[in-house]
Amino acid sequence: MRRRAFVTGITGLGATIALAPGVVIRHLRADVAGNLTRINLKFLVTEKEIHAWHVEKDSKGGPTIAGSPSWKNYLALLEKEWRAMGVVDIFRNPFTYKRWWTSEYPDDSQWSLQVDGKKIKVASYGCNSGSTSDSGVTGPLVVYKQGMPAEDLKGKIAIVVKQPPPETGVIGDHEFLTNPETFPNPDVPQRARGNAITPFPIMGLGPAQAALTAGGAIGAGAIGAIIVMPLSFEALAGTYTFGPPALYDLPTLYLDKDSGAPIVDAAAAGKSGTLRLIAKTEQAETYQLFGYLPGADYKTAMDKQILLITHTDGPSISQENGALGIAAMVKYFSHIPQSQRPRTLMLMYDCRHYMPGQERAFAEQDYVTSHPDLYKKVIAAMGIEHLGQMEVVEAPGESYHRTNQVEVSTVWTSNNQKLVDVAIRAIKDNKLPRVQLQVPGRKGVHGGEQGPWYGLGGIARRLGVPGASTMGSMSAYWSTKARMDYLDTKQFVTQVATMCQICGELMLADFS
C-alpha cells in the first residue's frame, strides 16, 4: 500500500480538516482543537484510576495468558471500561486453542529437579513443554551439543547451556533523547542494555530447539531438558518463555548460572537426575476484541480512523498493560463531544502474542484474514505496550533490585519530519522522562541506524500509513513475579498523555 504523506491541516482559530481532495469535515472550535494538540489535565486519567485498574487486572493472580481465568477477568474489565467511555460496535473474534499451564513462581510445587537426592533450585519452567507424571522422569544427564547423534540423547535429560549474547551497540541510534545523561553512549560497543538482567536475547532454546524438538531429542527418546542461563536466580525467577514455542513434548526447566554449573559437572560425572513438571492442558476459548470510539463522521463515507492496537496476553503487570493504556487514551478523547472528534478511534486488542507459536501460528484466526477490508478507513496507526515500568538493575556487587528511576522507554514514528516534530513536542510538553525517539529507516543523530519497529506499532508500516508507537524496555517484565509493586503510575499517566497528544495531532492531520 502506498505510504501517505503527513501534512498538518490546522488553520486559524479552528481547524479545517481535509480528508480527500474537495472533502472537508468541519471547522473545530479553538478550545476543542487545543484539547487535541495539548493535554487538558481535566480529561486525563488519574494515577488513582490507573492503580485501581491494575489492581483489578492482577486480582486473579498469575499471567494473563489467553483464555486463562486471569485473562478473562482482564478482558471483562477492559470491555466494561470501553462501554462506560462510549465505545460502540464492540465485537469479539472468538476461536479456541490448546492452552498449557502449570504453577507459577514462587509456587514451584509442580516443577522440580533432583540430582543425587538433592533438590536443585529451579528458577522457572519452559512453557508449552509437555508434562511428566507426578513422580517425574529419571535419566542420565547429558550436555547437549549441536549436531550430536540422536542416540546419545535417548532416555536422557538434555542440558542446554546458554551463552551471553554477543557484544552489541546499546540500543541503536536515536532522533531525540530526554535525560541523555542516563542513557549509555550508543557509539561505545558494549553489552546490549539490560543483558545482565534480562533473559530476552537468549531466552528460548534457540538453534537447539529444532534439533531437540523436531525429530532430535524427542525423536530419539530424550525425556526432558534443562536450560542453564547466564543469569542470577533473581533475574531468571518466574521467567515466562518468549517467544512462546508451539506445544512440544519435552518437559523443560530453567536454571540460573549458579544452580546450573554443578548440574553440568554432574553430567560430566555421569550422574542422573529426576525432572518433574506437572502441567495441564485444555481447549480454551479466546478472542480478539474490537470497538470504536466514533468520530463525527462515523459510519459515513467520509469516516477516517486511527487504529490503536495492542495485545492482551502476557506474564507480568506491564507486559500486556497497553490495553489499559489504550483505554486511558479513549477516556481522554471521550471528554470531547463526538461531533467535535475529527476522526474515529478504531480499537484492536489481540490475544495471540503469548499463545503457542505466537501470532504467526494463528494467522488464519486473525479477523483481518477473513475481513481484508477491516482497515480500509484507517489513515494512521498507534501501538501501545509496556507502560509504567520501573528500572531494575543488577550491578556488580549489588543484588537484583529496582532503582528510583523509571525504565527506559521508546517512542517510534514513521519517517516523516512533521510527525517526528509532533512526537518531540509531545515528549517535551508532557515531560516524559528517560525516553528515546527513534525513526526506523533513517540515520540518527550519531549517523547510525535507529533500529526496527518493535511491538504491534509496526502495523503502521505494514498498512502504509503514518504511525507512532511506544513501549518500555523489558528488563524485569518477562517474569510473572513483576506485579503491582513493579508499577509506576506516574510514568504510566505521563506516557498516556504523550501518546494522547500525538494521537490528537493525527486527528487533525491531512494525509494527501
Give the model's pLDDT for residue 317. Answer: 97
H helical segments located in 131-256 = 207-213, 217-220, 233-236
- Say if residue 208 is in the same domain as residue 250: yes
Q: What is the pLDDT of residue 206?
A: 59
Q: Are residues 308 and 273 in the same domain?
A: no
Helix (H, G, I), strand (E, B) or coil at 78: helix
Whole-angstrom Cα distance, residue 511 to residue 304?
Answer: 11
Q: Are residues 391 and 268 in the same domain?
A: no
**82 shares a domain with 111:** no
Q: How confident is the model at residue 216 (pLDDT cuts 50, 70, 90)?
A: low
Residue 214 inside a domain? The answer is yes
Q: Which of 462, 473, 204, 504 is nearest to 340 (CA)?
A: 504
pLDDT for the residue 35:
93
CA dihedral 398, 202, 171, 453 (to 10 degrees): -140
Cα distance between residue 289 and residue 24, in whole Å: 31
52, pLDDT greater than 90: yes
**How many domains does one find in the chain?**
2
Residue finishing a domain among 229, 245, 278: 278
Does 374 score more than 90 pLDDT? yes
Residues 148 and 42 in one domain: no
User: What residues make up the domain containing 226?
Assistant: 103-162+204-278
Residue 175: inside a domain: no
77 and 125 in a single domain? The answer is no
User: For the chain, how far is it from start to end, CA to CA, in angstroms?
Assistant: 14
Same-domain check for residues 127 and 259: yes
Q: Are strands 467-472 and 435-438 parallel, antiparallel or unpaired?
A: unpaired
More confident residue, 441 or 187: 441
Distance set, CA 460 to CA 50, 363, 375 (Å): 27, 18, 11
- Quick check: 392 pLDDT over 90? yes
Separation CA 52–CA 142 (nearest Å): 49
Find where cell 507459577 sits: 104
CB distance 317 to 483 below 8 Å: yes
pLDDT band at residue 298 using 50, 70 and 90 as cut-offs: very high
Instruction: Give a yes or no: residue 194 inside a domain.
Output: no
| Angle at the Cα of 381 from the Cα atoms of 81 and 470, rounded to 5 degrees | 75
Q: In this structure, are 388 and 481 located in the same domain? A: yes
Q: Of the given ranges (176-180, 266-270, 283-287), which has the lowest mean pLDDT? A: 176-180
In this prediction the pTM is 0.92
pLDDT at 167: 54
Average pLDDT over residues 218-245: 90
Q: CATH code at 369? A: 3.40.630.10
pLDDT of residue 20: 32
Same domain, 120 and 89: no
**Grid cell in block for residue 125:** 519452567
Confidence of residue 499 (pLDDT cuts 50, 70, 90): very high
Q: What is the pLDDT of residue 121?
A: 98
Is residue 196 assigned to a domain? Answer: no
Q: Establish if 189 belongs to a structural domain.
A: no
Mean pLDDT of 213-231: 79
Q: Which phi-psi region, left, alpha or beta, contains residue 19 (left: φ > 0; alpha: ψ -120 to 50)? A: alpha
* 290 alpha-carbon distance from chain centroid: 19
Whether 436 shows a pLDDT value over 70: the answer reads yes
Beta-bridge mates of residue 367:
none
Position 253 pLDDT exceeds 90: yes
pLDDT for 299 beyond 80:
yes
> What is the sign, positive or negative, of the torsion defined by CA atoms of 49, 52, 58, 59?
negative
Give 128's Cβ-side CA count (13 Å radius): 22
- Position 28 scores a pLDDT of 65
Least confident of 96-105, 392-401, 427-436, 491-500: 392-401
Residues 6+ apart with CB under 8 A from 41: none
pLDDT at 284 over 50: yes
Residue 268 lies in a domain: yes
**195 located within any domain:** no
The pLDDT assigned to 212 comes to 63
**What pLDDT shows up at residue 406?**
95
Grid cell, residue 425, equals: 513536542
CA pair distance 438, 174, nearest whole angstrom: 5
Using CB atoms within 10 A of its CB, is residue 459 exposed (0-12), middle (13-18) or buried (19+)? buried
d(CA 241, CA 100): 13
Q: How far is CA 512 from the centre of its chain?
A: 32
Considering the domain architecture, whether residues 144 and 237 belong to the same structural domain is answered as yes
Q: Average model confidence (pLDDT) for the chain?
A: 88
pLDDT at 120 over 80: yes
Flag whether 422 is in a domain: yes
CATH number, residue 268: 3.50.30.30
**What is the predicted pLDDT for the residue at 61?**
86
Give the integer Cα–Cα distance in Å for 50 and 487.
10
Instruction: List beta partners, residue 101.
Output: 280
Among 278, 294, 325, identify where a domain stops.
Answer: 278
User: Which of 278, 295, 327 is where one domain is finished?
Assistant: 278
State whether 137 and 246 are in the same domain.
yes
Q: For residue 213, is pLDDT > 70?
A: no
Mean pLDDT over 301-305 rounds to 96
Closest C-alpha to 412, from 446, 352, 452, 363:
452
330 & 358 share domain: yes
pLDDT greater than 60 at residue 54:
yes
